[in-house]
Amino acid sequence: MEQVKNDGLWQRTAIFSEAGYIPWQPGFERFGAEYHHQFVHDDIVADFYEIDGADFTHYALPTIPDGCTDFMFTKCGDVFHGYISTGVRAKKDFYFGEIEYLFGIRFMPGATCLFFRNPIREIVERPVYMEDLFAEGDSLLSRLTATSSFEERVAVATKFLQAARLQEDGQSKLLGYCTKRMYQTRGNGKLSVLAEDTGYTDRYIRNLFTDYIGISPKSFCQMLRLQYVLLLLAQHPHMNLEAAAAFAGYDDLSHMNRDCRRYMGCSSRQVRAQDFCQRGSKDGSIMFPC
């Protein structure tokens, strides 16, 4: 198994083991000559990342389901754009065109409701300009354009988000509680248990997830399990696939393979070989507006 250049691989797995969640996009780390990232892992931001020295013109960025919404910023000469991307329901490729670098803020699932209340269910796999949903987006973009390094961009974005955060409401608190419970079980909990614990109906919680994460609770749990499998196989390339399935809470290998094919488009054996995160063609990709 080719080693992914990820200094934080062990840290990501440790967070999973401590009943937390940190999403992983291995294709991002392989895409360009330089990849920078900084873990945050609080209730709002998972991490900051930047891809530089990449051939964005001819290739698309492989993206796998993680339940997260990202703020993405691109630079092409003197032109800067800010986007909101709610992620994907299955593996897709993102095409940006002629850009120099991509800087991103990856939010924990559902956390963007602390910055704008608009439901995001309509823009899953359909990235939009940031100002379409986030009124303060232009201000953040203008501040980022004045920076000259990844570290500066992280500092500017962190300060901005601290000031722009909205007051928590009942929905954001409920969503935060439910996602944390799902992290604790690594996606093996039941919606009926969440409904019983919170006093809300299954339907209400399901609609809340669809509105603010863009997917159902069941799909989100399946994505959590697969994210854990990715980390297991990356850390332990010789691990038996049946053992990986058992560790992640699947009934058996066939169960894990069904989810792999549904969300990654390949078998768990191919996931271990990392074929799923190679650069894609711009044809058939999700196009970011320019």
1 pLDDT higher than 60: no
Convert the pLDDT of each residue in 194-218 to its tens digit: 999 999 999 999 999 999 999 999 9
Q: What is the pLDDT of residue 104?
A: 98
Convert the pLDDT of each residue in 23-69 to its tens digit: 999 999 999 999 999 988 789 999 999 999 999 999 999 999 999 99
Confidence of residue 7 (pLDDT cuts 50, 70, 90): low
Convert the pLDDT of each residue in 94-135 to its tens digit: 999 999 999 999 999 999 999 999 999 889 999 999 999 999
179 pLDDT higher than 80: yes
219 pLDDT higher than 90: yes
280 pLDDT higher than 60: yes
Helix residue ranges, H only, the chain:
9-17, 26-31, 137-145, 150-164, 170-184, 191-198, 202-212, 217-235, 241-248, 253-264, 268-273
Query: How confident is the model over 148-157, as a mean pLDDT?
Result: 97
Cα 247 vs. chain centroid, distance in angstroms?
22
Answer yes or no: are the C-beta atoms of 241 and 272 closer than 8 Å.
yes
pTM, entire model:
0.93
Q: Which of 36, 117, 108 is nearest to 70 (CA)?
A: 108
4 pLDDT higher than 70: no
Q: What is the pLDDT of residue 2?
A: 39
Distance separating alpha carbons of residues 151 and 141, to the nearest angstrom = 16
3 pLDDT higher than 70: no
Q: What tokens appear for 160 in the block? A: 């901005």
Q: What is the pLDDT of residue 6?
A: 55
Query: In the chain, pLDDT over 70 holds for what percent of residues?
Result: 98
Q: Which of 264, 185, 271, 278 is nearest to 231 (CA)?
A: 271
Q: Which of 265, 287, 273 is nearest to 64 (CA)?
A: 265
Q: What is the pLDDT of residue 14?
A: 81
**What residues contact 262, with CB distance under 8 A and at least 6 apart?**
90, 222
The helices-and-strands tally (H runs, E runs) of the chain is: 11, 9
Distance separating alpha carbons of residues 82 and 71, to the nearest angstrom = 7
For the chain, give the mean pLDDT: 92
Answer yes or no: are the C-beta atoms of 144 and 156 closer than 8 Å.
yes
Q: What tokens appear for 169 in the block? A: 């409401």
For the packed helices 170-184 and 217-235, what is the interaxial angle rounded to 10 degrees?
A: 40
Q: Could you give phi then psi for residue 17, rounded to 5 degrees? A: -65, -25
